[in-house]
């Protein structure tokens, strides 16, 4: 029988080639199952805790966003089509909550959608990342409105969403005493906000029907050019280059370029190419800008300030958005007339498509540099 | 009589099939009991209590399951289906397809170590999809045979050749991925069909909001919710927010006595609604139940008294009126709209939970089975019988009992099962 590809192969094909996106999918699976073979190590890369614990089940290999064994199945399951994946419509929207408006990156739609889901009991919690320092984030499961608001606003540094879920969730339920404890809910639903690689790993897990992704009911995907690793060296270089003190940054955003808002209300626009050096190298091998497998994808690109571009993809995403809109958690950008609205939407789509193309091209180049062909795994 | 009587095949391992098997076995007749699911027990095993005595359903069923398993004259064929029937009364040749369990029944001790490690989570059929189970699982806690089963549709090894985690954690070496489906030929003198029912899917009546409103559930789901071994550990927590349900609407005749769906009366729903309302009160005396009915049909022994007790002792109000629609408010509370026929007024009532008494229908796949058996079904796909031979199908030597004949409560199913067993015994001992 053919040897099953396992974490050894992931190390060789993904980690060592520098295309690991640090989504934490492999570790989340391994720790959720209490198999305890993997952990997130230095530089936030996955590694063996103890290789002897590895059962060589091969699941971590399948669910890695950088391997392609499940890609066809994923595409079929989500009705993916070329360019930017399946979608129903695109809109500019913003939160109606003043407090959120103040602290959010774009229009605060994500935080508002999550609050809607939480307040309507459609979820028990949401996995979001929370600032722990100016550039550091930590994934948390927010279970209250306050917890969500604390997590609003982005810093573009990676957060290990999935690992957090893996650790919080444990599968161990003694089967012959299925009588569950009172505290444990019999229906658990979680929403996740994540980058394309994180959502991709979740969807692959859902394709297989495995833990811990079975808890994830809603996925909100962020548009993503790249994330940055703000380690000391990179920070120093960036500070020099832009001639600013990074300590003075109050907000980071990416739209057409990298937008840095400083304490005194000064805004600097930096072309994306110029900050490539602090981008995580793995991001250059990623083909997904618009978060093609999320229920709803969001980002600043294409919308004016204080608005979020919302790309509604799945039926589930559509029902959540419509209800949140109806219940007044969010509001849509208004236009003079239908013509203008149509024009703006076309512009938004054009931008999303063009960014998606650029990211795909970049990934192809990067992957062919690595000599692995366009993809890793299965067919490569 | 020198020659040994031929064996009897029983199709369906619910309470009717089990009772028929035990009766025949006790008469000294060999029985092959065939069940499609991984364990016998059927619908009765899913119920929390039974009316009109409020006995714990599994407590009175489990001894019968064990008896069937140990009976020297009964052979259980679980995960099996009848594929072909040839011959005639007194001499049937039956081809049985036995599906691989991928677990060695002799080695597995049902410890659950495998399931604790299985990474797959899929909706659990036995618990009416109110919780998730693993791809290797016990069909239900008290199921017989008490062994694990691998679900071939969802097992990652059987579908994708990865994983095999269960195998690594099974200390008994009971996991056997080499098992194959096999066909077995049986020679029997008579056949008893006892395939039971499926509940009607009320999504066909969109105005009741089933599947769209989370606090509108069907009665079988309610049974699992209030059952101590169910997904909530027996706490009647409504699906939307896990809050205890204190005001419950029971909506009768959902899909039954309805010319758009099933024109027939499903016969058991009046009683099971009262039982379910009584159980809710027994769990929490704050509970107030309303049963919306057209006619309360309480035609069995002790049933009318049960109806009266419900009203007098268990805080149940009976409201005569058919529910027109159910809507929901901000907090997912179902609002029931109805015409109260005693005052001829249209009214509405907001409750915590609405329970739909769904019609009993023949099991899916019954047409195929009838074709295999060479017997006729009636206009509603129940097995056809005639009033003077109520347990005989249209083919000699094939008999029928329980809910596949018509909607029938447990005592009646058991009585019919004994009757069918006697009819079959008469055939094979001739």
Residue A220, SS3? strand
Prediction pTM value = 0.89
pLDDT digits over A275-319, tens only?
Answer: 777 777 778 888 999 999 999 999 988 899 889 999 999 999 999
The one-digit pLDDT tens for each residue of chain B (430 residues) are 457 889 999 999 999 999 999 999 999 999 999 999 999 999 999 999 999 999 999 999 999 999 999 999 999 999 999 999 999 999 999 999 999 999 999 999 999 999 999 999 999 999 999 989 999 999 999 999 999 999 999 999 999 999 999 999 999 999 999 999 999 999 999 999 999 999 999 999 999 999 999 999 999 999 999 999 999 989 999 999 889 999 999 999 999 999 999 999 999 999 999 999 999 999 999 999 999 999 999 999 999 999 999 999 999 999 999 999 999 998 899 999 999 998 899 999 999 999 999 999 999 999 999 999 999 999 999 999 999 999 999 999 999 999 999 999 999 999 999 999 999 999 999 8
Q: What is the pLDDT of residue A154?
A: 54
Using 50 as the pLDDT threshold, list the residues of chain A that sit under it. 155-161, 164-184, 376-380
Helices and strands (DSSP H and E) totals, chain A: 12, 13
Domain count, chain A: 1
> Which chain B residue shows the shortest CA-CA distance from A212?
B119
* Contacts of B150 by beta carbon, 8 Å cutoff, 6+ apart: B101, B102, B103, B135, B136, B158, B166, B175
In a domain, A256, yes or no: no
A173 touching chain B per CB within 8 A:
yes
**Residue A327 Cα to chain centre, angstroms:** 26
Q: Is A143 exposed, middle or buried (0-12, 13-18, 19+ CB in 10 A)?
A: middle
In a domain, A373, yes or no: no
pLDDT digits over B172-193, tens only?
Answer: 999 999 999 999 999 999 999 9
Residue B339, SS3? strand
A57 touching chain B per CB within 8 A:
yes
**What's the full length of chain A, in residues?**
380
**Among partner residues A2, A59, A176, which is closest to B112 by beta-carbon distance?**
A176
**Among partner residues A58, A175, A182, which is closest to B115 by beta-carbon distance?**
A175
In a domain, A6, yes or no: no
Element spanning B62, H or E: helix B57-70
In a domain, A242, yes or no: no
A172 touching chain B per CB within 8 A:
yes
pLDDT digits over B276-323, tens only?
Answer: 999 999 999 999 999 999 999 999 999 999 999 999 999 999 999 999
Chain B residues lying within 8 Å of A62, measured CB to CB: 160, 162
Q: What is the pLDDT of residue B198?
A: 98
Residue A314, SS3? coil
Quick check: A130 and A100 in contact, CB under 8 A? Answer: no
**Among partner residues A32, A57, A120, which is closest to B164 by beta-carbon distance?**
A57
Taking phi over 0 as left and psi of -120 to 50 as alpha, with beta for the rest, A281 belongs to alpha
Give just the sign of the alpha carbon dihedral B381, B384, B386, B390.
negative
Q: What is the pLDDT of residue A347?
A: 92
Q: What is the dihedral of CA A178, A179, A183, A184, to 10 degrees?
A: 30
* Contacts of B246 by beta carbon, 8 Å cutoff, 6+ apart: B284, B286, B287, B288, B352
Q: What is the pLDDT of residue A81?
A: 87
Q: Using alpha carbons, list the distances in angstroms from residue B181 to B145, B148, B174.
A: 18, 17, 17
pLDDT digits over A230-272, tens only?
Answer: 666 677 777 777 787 777 777 777 777 777 777 777 888 888 7
Separation CA B7–CA B10 (nearest Å)? 10
A316 touching chain B per CB within 8 A:
no
**Among partner residues B121, B163, B232, which is closest to A186 by beta-carbon distance?**
B232
In a domain, A188, yes or no: yes
In a domain, A28, yes or no: no
Tokens of B376: 């006729």
**What is the set of domains in chain B, with CATH numbers?**
7-99+181-196+363-428 (3.50.50.60), 113-169 (no CATH), 201-359 (3.50.50.60)
Chain B residues lying within 8 Å of A173, measured CB to CB: 116
Q: Give the B-side interface with A, CB within 8 Å.
A: 110-112, 115-117, 119-122, 130-132, 135, 137-138, 141, 154, 156, 160-165, 168, 228-229, 231-235, 237, 239-242, 332
> Which chain B residue shows the shortest CA-CA distance from A183?
B232
In a domain, A371, yes or no: no
A246 touching chain B per CB within 8 A:
no
Residue to mutate among B110, B116, B119, B243, with most A CBs inside 10 A, is B119
- Classify residue A282 by its DSSP letter: G
Quick check: B194 and B402 in contact, CB under 8 A? Answer: yes
**Nearest C-alpha neighbor of B38 from the set B183, B143, B152:** B143
ipTM > 0.95 (yes/no)? no
Query: Domain limits at A152?
Result: 71-229+279-366
CB contact under 8 A, A4 and B122: no
Q: What is the pLDDT of residue A156?
A: 46
Chain B residues lying within 8 Å of A29, measured CB to CB: 119
Q: What is the pLDDT of residue A158?
A: 47
Q: How many Cβ atoms from other residues are within 10 Å of residue A247's Cβ? A: 10
Separation CA B396–CA A312 (nearest Å)? 61
Question: Looking at the DSSP assignment, which residues form a beta bridge with residue A311?
Answer: A90, A297
Separation CA A79–CA B400 (nearest Å)? 47
**Among partner residues A174, A179, A209, which is closest to B120 by beta-carbon distance?**
A209
In a domain, A32, yes or no: no
């Amino acid at each position: 029988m053919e040897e099953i590809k396992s974490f050894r192969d992931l190390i060789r094909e993904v980690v060592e080639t520098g295309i690991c996106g640090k989504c934490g999918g492999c570790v989340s699976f391994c720790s959720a199952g209490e198999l305890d073979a993997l952990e997130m190590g230095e530089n936030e890369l996955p590694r063996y805790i103890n290789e002897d614990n590895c059962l060589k089940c091969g699941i971590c290999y399948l669910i890695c966003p950088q391997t392609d064994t499940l890609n066809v199945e994923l595409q079929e399951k989500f009705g993916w089509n070329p360019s930017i994946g399946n979608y129903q419509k695109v809109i500019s929207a913003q939160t109606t909550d003043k407090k959120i408006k103040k602290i959010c990156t774009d229009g605060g739609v994500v935080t508002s959608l999550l609050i809607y889901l939480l307040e309507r009991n459609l979820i028990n919690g949401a996995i979001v990342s929370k600032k722990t320092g100016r550039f550091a984030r930590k994934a948390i499961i927010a279970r209250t409105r306050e917890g969500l608001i604390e997590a609003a606003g982005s810093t573009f540094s990676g957060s290990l969403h999935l690992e957090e879920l893996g650790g919080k969730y444990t599968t161990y339920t003694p089967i012959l005493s299925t009588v569950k404890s009172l505290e444990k809910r019999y229906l658990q639903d979680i929403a996740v906000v994540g980058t394309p690689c994180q959502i991709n790993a979740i969807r692959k897990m859902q394709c297989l029907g495995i833990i811990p992704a079975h808890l994830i009911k809603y996925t909100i995907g962020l548009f993503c050019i790249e994330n940055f690793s703000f380690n000391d060296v990179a920070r120093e270089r960036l500070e020099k280059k832009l001639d600013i003190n990074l300590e003075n940054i109050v907000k980071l955003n990416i739209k057409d370029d990298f937008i840095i808002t400083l304490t005194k209300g000064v805004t600097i626009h930096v072309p994306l190419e110029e900050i490539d050096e602090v981008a995580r190298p793995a991001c250059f091998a990623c083909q997904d800008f618009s978060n093609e497998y999320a229920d709803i994808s969001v980002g600043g690109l294409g919308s004016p300030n204080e608005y979020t571009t919302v790309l509604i993809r799945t039926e589930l995403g559509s029902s959540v958005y419509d209800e949140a809109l109806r219940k007044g958690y969010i509001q849509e950008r208004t236009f003079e007339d239908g013509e203008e609205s149509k024009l703006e939407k076309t512009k938004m789509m054009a931008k999303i498509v063009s960014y998606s193309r650029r990211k795909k091209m970049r990934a192809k180049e990067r992957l062919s540099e690595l000599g692995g062909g366009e993809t890793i795994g299965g067919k490569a | 009589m020198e020659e040994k009587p031929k064996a009897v095949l029983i199709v369906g391992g619910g309470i009717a099939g089990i009772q028929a098997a035990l009766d025949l076995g006790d008469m000294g007749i060999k029985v092959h009991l065939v069940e499609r699911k991984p364990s016998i027990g059927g619908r009765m095993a899913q119920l929390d209590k039974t009316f009109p005595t409020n006995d714990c359903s599994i407590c009175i069923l489990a001894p019968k399951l064990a008896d069937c398993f140990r009976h020297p004259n009964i052979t259980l064929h679980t995960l099996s289906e009848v594929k072909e029937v040839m011959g005639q009364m007194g001499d049937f040749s039956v081809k049985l397809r036995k599906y691989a369990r991928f677990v060695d029944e002799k080695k597995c001790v049902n410890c659950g170590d495998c399931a604790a490690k299985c990474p797959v989570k899929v909706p659990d059929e036995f618990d009416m999809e109110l919780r998730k189970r693993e791809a290797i699982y016990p069909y239900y806690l008290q199921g017989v045979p008490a062994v694990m089963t691998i679900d071939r549709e969802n097992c990652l090894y059987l579908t994708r050749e990865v994983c095999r985690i269960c195998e690594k954690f099974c200390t008994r070496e009971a996991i056997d991925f080499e098992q194959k489906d096999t066909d077995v030929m049986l020679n029997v003198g008579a056949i008893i069909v006892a395939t039971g029912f499926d509940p009607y899917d009320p999504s066909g009546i969109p105005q009741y909001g089933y599947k769209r409103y989370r606090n509108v559930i069907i009665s079988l789901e309610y049974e699992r919710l209030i059952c101590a071994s169910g997904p909530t550990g027996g706490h009647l927590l409504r699906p939307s927010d896990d809050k205890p349900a204190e005001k419950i609407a029971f909506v009768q005749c959902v899909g039954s006595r309805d010319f758009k769906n099933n024109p027939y009366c499903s016969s058991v729903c009046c009683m099971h609604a009262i039982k379910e309302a009584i159980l809710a009160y027994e769990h929490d005396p704050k509970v107030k139940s309303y049963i919306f009915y057209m006619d309360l049909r309480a035609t069995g022994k002790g049933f009318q008294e049960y109806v009266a007790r419900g009203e007098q002792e268990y805080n149940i109000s009976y409201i005569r009126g058919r529910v027109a629609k159910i809507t929901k408010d901000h907090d997912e509370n179902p609002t029931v709209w109805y015409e109260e026929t005693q005052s001829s007024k249209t009214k509405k009532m907001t409750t915590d939970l609405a329970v739909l008494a769904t019609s009993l229908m023949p099991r899916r796949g019954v047409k195929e089975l009838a074709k295999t058996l060479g017997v006729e079904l009636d206009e509603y796909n129940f097995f056809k019988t005639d009033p003077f031979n109520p347990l005989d199908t249209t083919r000699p030597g094939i008999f029928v009992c329980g809910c596949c004949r018509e909607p029938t409560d447990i005592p009646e199913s058991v009585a019919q099962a004994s009757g069918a067993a006697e009819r079959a015994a008469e055939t094979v001992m001739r």
